[in-house]
Structure 1
Amino acid sequence: MVVPGVGAMGVDVVFWSVVLARFVLPLFIPKYPLPAIIACLVLDAADQTIFQTFGFNPPFYQSYDKAMDVFYLSVAYTAGLRNWANLSAFRINRFLFFYRQIGVVAFELTGLRWLLLVFPNTFEYFFIAYETVRTRWNPRRGGFKFWLIVAGAIWIFIKLPQEYWIHIAKLDVTDTIRDVPWFGPALAAGILILIAVLLFVVRPRLPQRDWSLRIAADPLPSAVATARERAAFQARHRKVFDEAALEKIFLIGLISVIYGRVLPGVDATSLQIFLGVAFYAIVNAALGLWAAKRGHSWQSAGISFLVVFVTNIALVTVAALLLRRGEGHIQPIDTLFFVFLFSILTTLYDRYRPIYDYRVEMAKSETTA
């Protein structure tokens, strides 16, 4: 039922505005990590309420919601490659991200909801915790043990109860407040107690701040601050099939498998999707390395994306022509969506991975010095 006074066209405008916002907001995470990911988190929690306010219940909402969640968390992972100076924290971050992705793929393949409890989304809140610390303190203060304790606390005290509530008990906060009279006041009291603990117990014990409030990401290392410098670094240190290429295959491959399972109309099997993504990832790595060794680079992320997107469209077109000679075929809409997704994440990963690799090289140099 559509809200009186809001026609079908108005509902469509609301729906596509929300979808566009959920797609665009994650692209701000690399430059403005904390506010952008919190905005994504808030919109993720509010979008269904927005739809229902206008009397609209979009079909395949759960599939759409999961697809958008996977997208913005993947962008956040690439933002860690770009921004995180604490390599110990990033190693934990990497584990948490891929651990969750493996769990989501396992859930999509089996339908066993308890897998989402075993593989909780600790990555998201760990990312927020790191970026919250970075706004006032140098995150390199904390070693591996410190960040491991932070991750463990989030896992045990926040994510396990939340994942159980959502996926095992299948409860909803709004419905529980409505159906259980004491739950609302108890929840409010708990929030107030938490705020009091933070203000009067945690805050006085915090170390002296290292700098004034920092919202934007920190400046990049000067040696890899430009696209040309990153391309030169990549040309010296990368191979077509190396650890970075393998990570990119699993990053985009797992995401594509999840999309293939949750989006309607995808005919390919999970293995076909993963192998297809692996093939295009290797081809893209070869083309990217070829361009880097010849000094070709684009400072603009938009131009970089267009180059990658057009290249992948050309590769898919060739594949479609070859398949027509046999019994195979490619679904145009599904393929275009995957190429678009693949091109965005490939662009971000390829732009930011050299920054991470440079930091690793500098850390090795400091250790051996």
Structure 2
Amino acid sequence: MFDAGTIIVLAMRLLGPLMIFQWPLLGSIVSEYIFDAIDILIWAEMGTTDIDYTSYDKPLDVYQITIQAIVASRWENKTIRNIALFFYGYRLLGYALYLFTELRVMFFFFPNIFFYFFIGYLAAKKLGLPELFEDKRQLAIVILVIILLKLPQEYILHWPH
């Protein structure tokens, strides 16, 4: 049923995000920028050519951000926790609309702001700069910057051309 490439990719994408529970920042970075980035290369190297990438990638992305949302739900700062969970729900809504409509443009209108908010907050804490997320004005600027950086990527990946 599954070829070797698919088994490797599924194992990597299902087991890798579990690191997030122990090391939220490192696990998120490894899961997103290594495992999610190389899965298509593994399939290509292993000769898997007849794969509907989106049908694998998007559910695995949701799995990863769900683990991150579980971690975020435990954050002490109620405002930051609620903002993170809002962005998580917003992305899930976009994914549900995509499943219903099969329009990839839904990912543009419902960008994955959650992931960048999540790692941004953890990185700010790690660098001793939690005030970037605790001061309302600075928090608004951080969110605006994340949105402005994410929308072009979503446009390139998902806007119908």
TM over 0.5: yes
1:66 paired with 2:51, answer no
Q: Which amino acid aligns with 2:49?
A: N
Cα distance change, pair 64–113 in 1 and its aligned pair in 2 (3 A): closer
Residue among 102, 110, 124 paired with 1:111: 102
What's the CA shift for 1:153?
A: 1.1
- Name which of structure 1's ranges 55-64 and 28-37 shifts more when overlaid on structure 2: 55-64
Cα distance change, pair 148–90 in 1 and its aligned pair in 2 (3 A): farther
What's the CA shift for 1:38?
A: 0.8
Could you tell me how far apart the structure 1 residues matched to 2:69 and 2:105 are?
Answer: 25
**Are 1:114 and 1:168, in contact at CA under 8 Å, matched by a contact in 2?**
yes
1:85 paired with 2:76, answer yes
What's the CA shift for 1:155?
A: 0.7
Alignment correspondent of 2:142: 150
1:26 paired with 2:23, answer no
Cα distance change, pair 109–92 in 1 and its aligned pair in 2 (3 A): same
Alignment correspondent of 1:46: 38
Structure 1: state its 5+ residue gaps: 1-8, 171-369
Cα distance change, pair 107–68 in 1 and its aligned pair in 2 (3 A): same
Which secondary structure state, in structure 1, belongs to the residue aligned with residue 42 of structure 2?
helix
**Are 2:105 and 2:160, in contact at CA under 8 Å, matched by a contact in 1?**
no
**Are 1:29 and 1:37, in contact at CA under 8 Å, matched by a contact in 2?**
yes
1:76 paired with 2:76, answer no
**Are 1:88 and 1:143, in contact at CA under 8 Å, matched by a contact in 2?**
no
Residue among 91, 95, 99 paired with 1:100: 91
Which secondary structure state, in structure 1, belongs to the residue aligned with residue 22 of structure 2?
coil
1:167 paired with 2:134, answer no
- Identity, in percent, stands at 32
CA deviations over 1:66-120 (Å, ceiling 9, x no partner): 11111011010001122x2322211211111111111111122122333221111
CA deviations over 1:199-231 (Å, ceiling 9, x no partner): xxxxxxxxxxxxxxxxxxxxxxxxxxxxxxxxx
CA deviations over 1:136-156 (Å, ceiling 9, x no partner): 216267233322321121012
**Are 2:13 and 2:31, in contact at CA under 8 Å, matched by a contact in 1?**
yes
Which secondary structure state, in structure 2, belongs to the residue aligned with residue 30 of structure 1?
helix
Could you tell me how far apart the structure 1 residues matched to 2:91 and 2:137 are?
Answer: 21
Using structure 1 for the length normalisation, give the TM-score. Answer: 0.40
Alignment of 1:119-138 (within 5 A): 119-137=110-128
Alignment correspondent of 1:358: none
Q: Which amino acid aligns with 2:108?
A: L
Structure 2: state its 5+ residue gaps: none
What's the CA shift for 1:123?
A: 0.6
What's the CA shift for 1:37?
A: 0.6
The number of residues matched between the two structures is 158
Look at both structures and tell me which one has the larger radius of gyration over its CA atoms.
1
**Are 2:9 and 2:39, in contact at CA under 8 Å, matched by a contact in 1?**
yes
**Are 2:113 and 2:147, in contact at CA under 8 Å, matched by a contact in 1?**
yes
**Are 1:92 and 1:148, in contact at CA under 8 Å, matched by a contact in 2?**
no
